[in-house]
A = this chain, B = another copy of it.
Amino acid sequence: MEKIKVGIIGAGGYGGCGAIELLHNHPHAEIAALIDKQDVGKPISDLYPHLTGFCDLPIISPDDPDCPDDFQVVFFATPDGVGQNAAPSWLKKGAKVVDYSGDFRFNDLHTYKGYAARIGRTQDHSSPDLLPQSVYGLTELHRSEISRSSLVGNPGCFAVSCILGLSPAIKSKIIEEDSIICDAKTGVSGAGKNPTPAFHYPARYDAMNAYKISGHQHVYEVERELGLLADHDIRITFTPHVVPLCRGILTTIYAQLGAGQNLKSVEEVYQSFYKDDVFVRVFGPEKPQVSVNVRGSNFCNISLNVDERTGKLIVVSLVDNLVKGQAGSAVQNMNIMFGLEETTGLLHPGIYP
């Protein structure tokens, strides 16, 4: 089998680096070009010296007339607004597209506009006609649509942990929907490669904080997906926090259990929901749930707990924000889009400690 040629746009960021690491190990895909507007001409291994000898491709400008374009799939590891401009031309050339941003996470214009307003984006979507054919790239929920699609909106990192942590409960209607609170803690790598005062080592090494309280943009896709599962609108309270570690999102999800539910019934619901999903591991309350357990891997660990005193279901949902929360999901989606085994190139445990 000839290898799938992958072009990565926005290759110089953590999202590009993560895709390179994963595709290096992938038996049926290869990196065809690394495209970015910054650091043009430099080998990627200058930016990421651990890649020396593994991937030394130079970064090409998207404006370079010699920029190759014979890819079977393009990863847009770029911020909002980039993929929606460039996707049409790539699709026309026959490439499939996986976009990391919010550009194609909502398959109707109305919902996208609500999202766009939240992130302060005032321009219209530049490819609104593509939205209906885009698929939300959380594989566990949309595997079949992804397999038939050429355009996938890769999910947000927080959203992955929230949606995987809540979907079985919503689908099976075992919780009170208006009682959902997601308290998320993320490592710093989620903020990307560019240095900022808040993530300067001395400011961060012994510091944690809440931010965008009640206002983070990922809440939109969480509510969207939960709404699709429930078949009506759902609103959640979501508060993100940054803690001083590098990789990992731990979301603690609270919801009032419905009448007659208990830990056992909850476990059955979750085990059943994820019975065919290799990358979701469901644990009971006795299991430790430490973020490092999923570091460097494409797994989501879910721990189920019930507070008998208050009748609350408490789900702890863990992902590595750079793998299952980003590049890993992108490769998982690529596998499905090309008819490969979903786990190809993704079955490794990470390293510890």
Interface, chain A (partner B; CB < 8 A): 14, 17-18, 21, 24-25, 48-55, 178-179, 181, 183, 185, 187-189, 193-197, 199-210, 213-214, 235-237, 239, 241, 243-248, 250, 252, 254, 281, 285, 287-297, 301, 303, 305-310, 312, 314, 316, 347-353
CA distance A52 to B250 in the complex (A): 18
Nearest chain B CB to A295 CB, angstrom units: 7
The answer to whether B352 touches A208, judged by C-beta atoms less than 8 angstroms apart, is: no
Structural contact, A214 and B50, CB atoms closer than 8 A? no
**Distance between Cα atoms of A54 and B207 in the complex (Å):** 21
Could you say which residues of chain B place their CB within 8 Å of the CB of A179?
179
Report how far A297 CA is from B347 CA in the complex, Å.
18
Q: Could you tell me if A296 and B207 are in contact, using CB atoms closer than 8 angstroms?
A: no
Q: Which of B187, B243, B316 contacts A245 (CB 8 A)?
A: B243
- A207–B245 touching, CB < 8 Å: yes
The reply to whether B214 and A306 contact each other, CB–CB distance below 8 Å, is: yes
Question: Which residues does chain B contribute within 8 Å of A349, judged by CB atoms?
Answer: 21, 24, 50-55
Given A200-B201, A281-B53, A352-B17; A247-B312 close (CB under 8 Å): no
Contact of A308 among B214, B291, B306, B348 (CB under 8 A): B214
Report chain B residues within 8 Å CB of A206.
187, 205-206, 245-248, 291-292, 295
Which among B18, B213, B316 is the interface contact of A314 at CB below 8 angstroms?
Answer: B213
* Contacts known (A235-B310, A254-B237, A308-B214); A185 close to B243, Cβ less than 8 A: yes
Residues of B within 8 A of A17 (CB): 352
Given A21-B351, A281-B52, A291-B207: A201 and B309 interface contact (C-beta under 8 Å): no
- Knowing A237-B254, A310-B236, the reply to whether A195 touches B197 (Cβ < 8 A) is yes
The 6 lowest CB-CB distance pairs between A and B, nearest first, are: A214-B307, A195-B195, A202-B353, A207-B292, A195-B200, A183-B183
Inside 8 A of A185's CB, which chain B residues have their CB?
Answer: 185, 208, 241, 243
A306 to B314 CA separation, bound complex (whole angstroms): 23
**Contact between B50 and A352 (Cβ–Cβ < 8 Å)?**
yes
How many copies the complex holds: the figure is: 4
Minimum CB distance partner of A278 in chain B: B53
B214 contacts A292, C-beta separation under 8 Å: no
Contacts of A237 in B (CB 8 A): 254, 307, 309-310, 312, 314
A291 touches B209 (CB 8 A): yes
Give Cα A252–Cα B211 distance, bound, in whole angstroms. Answer: 11
| Contact indicator A24/B348 (Cβ below 8 Å) | yes
The reply to whether B214 and A202 form a contact with Cβ atoms under 8 Å apart is no
Q: Which of B201, B210, B214, B314 contacts A214 (CB 8 A)?
A: B314
Residue of B nearest to A281 (CB): B52
> CA of A14 to CA of B239 in the docked complex: distance in angstroms?
31
Provide the bound-state CA to CA distance between A208 and B252, in Å.
12
Given contacts A21-B349, A201-B201, A239-B252, contact A316 B213 (CB under 8 A): yes
The answer to whether A244 touches B244 (Cβ under 8 A) is: yes
Q: Which residues of B contact A210 (CB under 8 A)?
A: 250, 252, 289, 303, 316
Q: How far is the CB of A77 from chain B (nearest CB, A)?
A: 15
